[in-house]
Every structure is written in structure tokens, then in C-alpha cells.
């Protein structure tokens, strides 16, 4: 008799299955609610608008006979790649152009890539050169690199 009770206790699993089922249903409900909540509150869109993390090196050169640098070579030293349409070079509040179209930022500016931009020797010396990243949706912009133009 006692042996039969022990066997029945070890083989009976009726109470385990419903408990596991309820735990799984509750877990799935919580996960789905969290996903819907993130997108309903707009928290998911901020991830795409976060500026990239990158490191830059600035090398100023004087290519003519005047004093002061007239161009800067910007090298991407590491970090996330950046799409060309999202970045620009700004000195003293004005956007600067590449020395030649071939010297502009590549389509995807990534580690080891360089770009050469012109500096106005009459107004830019001593100013701060900034690499400005604009969010793809245009809602925000951030300075992701900066350097002082030497006198």
C-alpha cells in the first residue's frame, strides 16, 4: 500500500503543467506590454537619433605662401561609421567646403578614412572647427568632433 502511494506521488504531474503554463503566459504578456510601451511612448525613436561615437584627428596644412593654415585633413580614427549626408564641417558658424569634390567625406566615413576641407585664412584662424552630425530625420544636431584652428 505504501509503495503504491509513493509510485503515484512520483508519477503524478497534474499540478505542474498548469503552473508552468500560467507562468509562461504571464511572462509573454509582460514582454509584449514592455515592447508596446516603448514604442507607444516614443522611446524607440530616440535610439535612431543618437549621435554616433567617433574619434577624429585634425591635421592643418599651409599650402600657399601666406601665414596660417588654409586646409585641414580630418581623419576618422575609430568608432562608428557616419553617413556623408549627416555630417558637415563648420568653422565660426559657417559650413566649409572640401578642397575638391574628391576630398569630401566618403559616402560612409569610417575608421581610416580622410577628408580635406578648406580654411579661410582671413577669418578662421583661432576659431573652433566643428564636425556637426545631423539626425537623419533632421530633428537634432550634435557636435561630434572639434578642434581649434591654429593661428
pLDDT tens per residue, range 104-136: 999 999 999 999 998 887 778 888 999 999 988
Q: What does the pLDDT average to over 24-44?
A: 86
Q: Which fold has domain 51-148?
A: Immunoglobulin-like (2.60.40)
Distances (CA, A) of 146 to 5, 64, 78, 114, 149: 79, 24, 15, 15, 10
Q: Is 98 exposed, middle or buried (0-12, 13-18, 19+ CB in 10 A)?
A: middle
| pLDDT at residue 132, as a whole number | 94
Q: Where are the chain's structural domains? A: 2-47, 51-148
Amino acid at each position: 500500500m505504501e509503495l503504491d502511494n509513493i509510485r503515484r506521488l512520483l508519477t503524478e504531474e497534474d499540478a505542474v503543467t498548469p503552473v508552468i503554463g500560467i507562468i509562461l503566459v504571464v511572462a509573454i504578456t509582460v514582454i509584449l506590454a514592455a515592447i508596446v510601451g516603448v514604442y507607444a511612448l516614443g522611446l524607440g525613436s530616440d535610439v535612431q537619433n543618437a549621435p554616433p561615437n567617433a574619434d577624429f584627428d585634425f591635421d592643418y596644412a599651409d599650402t600657399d605662401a601666406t601665414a596660417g593654415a588654409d586646409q585641414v585633413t580630418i581623419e576618422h580614427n575609430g568608432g562608428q561609421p557616419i553617413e556623408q549626408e549627416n555630417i558637415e564641417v563648420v568653422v565660426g558658424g559657417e559650413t566649409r567646403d572640401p578642397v575638391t569634390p574628391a576630398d569630401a567625406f566618403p559616402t560612409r566615413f569610417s575608421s581610416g578614412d580622410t577628408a580635406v576641407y578648406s580654411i579661410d585664412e582671413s577669418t578662421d584662424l583661432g576659431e573652433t572647427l566643428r564636425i556637426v552630425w545631423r539626425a537623419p530625420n533632421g530633428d537634432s544636431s550634435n557636435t561630434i568632433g572639434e578642434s581649434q584652428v591654429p593661428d
